[in-house]
């Protein structure tokens, strides 16, 4: 039986993924600052909302208000009640006003995992986004501790049957790369003085995928992939 596919909300990317992500699994979007990770994560979130699903988005670095403003302008339905955008960015008010909030979501990956599981007691989210995971990695005491908690996170998410997208800023995301079900890599290149954005799939368990590096643009309407133009093959 063919696996159930979940649209990323980006047509060209679904095509690269042979129809979309496989439902109920955990995926990593990696890329350096400004490469478009949050934009892609928002497409994924909003595609869920558009098809009537409940979506949980945990933002750890970019304030939720900023996101609503910027992505609202791109035409995303950021105020839809089925889109739960949790701001886990560290602000002074949070420490003072909402006791333990930042602590719960951003202190460690274990805490984040149990906070997400707790949320599922109220709503059965079909998509979960953690953007970015970077801070939780830095917060871990040792690599082995992080590896264990990341694996526990992946297993918990799969048990919840949600399709999960996490973003990471770190170039060296070795641990996550082994444990996730697929990786989408975003890059910026300078070609003859012009900025070019590229996307490629480097891993996708259980599915074939487009082996080419594709270029894309971020427009007023979000991410648009040039599926007819490729930069080369994935090695």
Ligand X SMILES: Nc1ncnc2c1ncn2[C@@H]1O[C@H](COP(=O)(O)OP(=O)(O)OP(=O)(O)O)[C@@H](O)[C@H]1O
The contact set with ligand X (CB under 6 A) reads: 31, 33-39, 62, 169, 218-220
Q: How many residues bind Mg ion (CB under 5 A)?
A: 2
In whole angstroms, the minimum distance from the beta carbon of 62 to Mg ion comes to 5
53 touches which of Mg ion, ligand X, none (CB within 5 to 8 A by kind)? none
Q: Which is nearer to ligand X, 36 or 182 (CB)?
A: 36
CB atoms within 10 A of CB 43: 23
Residue with tokens 């980006």: 10
Contacts of 191 (CB under 8 A, 6+ apart): none
**Separation of alpha carbons 186 and 29, rounded Å:** 7
Spatial contact of 177 and 183, defined as CB atoms under 8 Å apart: yes
**Separation of alpha carbons 35 and 86, rounded Å:** 22
Phi, psi of 118, deg, nearest 5: -55, -45
3-state class (DSSP) for residue 95: helix
215: contact with Mg ion by CB under 5 A: no
Contacts of 6 (CB under 8 A, 6+ apart): 20, 21, 22, 23, 127, 163
Q: Which is nearer to ligand X, 212 or 216 (CB)?
A: 216
103 touches which of Mg ion, ligand X, none (CB within 5 to 8 A by kind)? none
In whole angstroms, the minimum distance from the beta carbon of 73 to ligand X comes to 8
The CB-nearest residue to Mg ion is 38
**Separation of alpha carbons 87 and 123, rounded Å:** 18
Structural tokens at position 138: 């830095």
In whole angstroms, the minimum distance from the beta carbon of 219 to ligand X comes to 5
Q: Which is nearer to ligand X, 51 or 219 (CB)?
A: 219
In whole angstroms, the minimum distance from the beta carbon of 38 to Mg ion comes to 3
Q: Which is nearer to ligand X, 41 or 115 (CB)?
A: 41
In whole angstroms, the minimum distance from the beta carbon of 134 to ligand X comes to 9
- 83: exposed, middle or buried (Cβ count in 10 Å: 0-12, 13-18, 19+): buried
39 touches which of ligand X, Mg ion, none (CB within 5 to 8 A by kind)? ligand X
In whole angstroms, the minimum distance from the beta carbon of 174 to ligand X comes to 19
**Separation of alpha carbons 153 and 162, rounded Å:** 12
Q: Which is nearer to Mg ion, 63 or 232 (CB)?
A: 63
> What does the per-residue mask of binding to Mg ion show for 17-46, with x meaning CB under 5 A?
--------------------xx--------
Q: Which residues bind Mg ion (CB under 5 A)?
A: 37-38
């Amino acid at each position: 039986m063919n696996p159930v596919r979940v649209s990323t909300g980006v047509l060209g990317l679904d095509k690269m993924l042979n129809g979309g992500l496989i439902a109920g699994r955990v995926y990593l979007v990696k890329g350096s600052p400004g490469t478009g990770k949050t934009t892609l994560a928002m497409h994924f979130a909003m595609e869920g909302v558009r098809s009537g699903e409940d979506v949980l988005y945990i933002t750890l670095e970019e304030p939720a208000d900023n996101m609503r403003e910027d992505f609202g302008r791109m035409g995303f339905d950021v105020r839809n009640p089925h889109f739960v955008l949790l701001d886990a960015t560290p602000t002074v008010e949070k420490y003072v006003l909402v006791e333990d909030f930042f602590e719960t979501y951003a202190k460690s990956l274990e805490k984040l995992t149990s906070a997400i599981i707790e949320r599922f007691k109220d709503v059965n989210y079909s998509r979960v986004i953690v953007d970015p995971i970077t801070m939780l990695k830095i917060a871990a005491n040792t690599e082995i501790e992080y590896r264990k908690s990341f694996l526990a996170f992946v297993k918990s998410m799969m048990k919840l049957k949600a399709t999960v997208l996490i973003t990471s800023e770190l170039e060296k995301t070795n641990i996550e790369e082994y444990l996730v079900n697929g990786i989408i890599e975003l890059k910026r290149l300078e070609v003859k003085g012009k900025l070019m954005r590229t996307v490629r799939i480097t891993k996708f368990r259980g599915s074939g995928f487009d082996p080419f590096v594709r270029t894309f643009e971020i427009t007023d309407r979000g991410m648009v992939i040039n599926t007819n133009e490729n930069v080369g093959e994935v090695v």
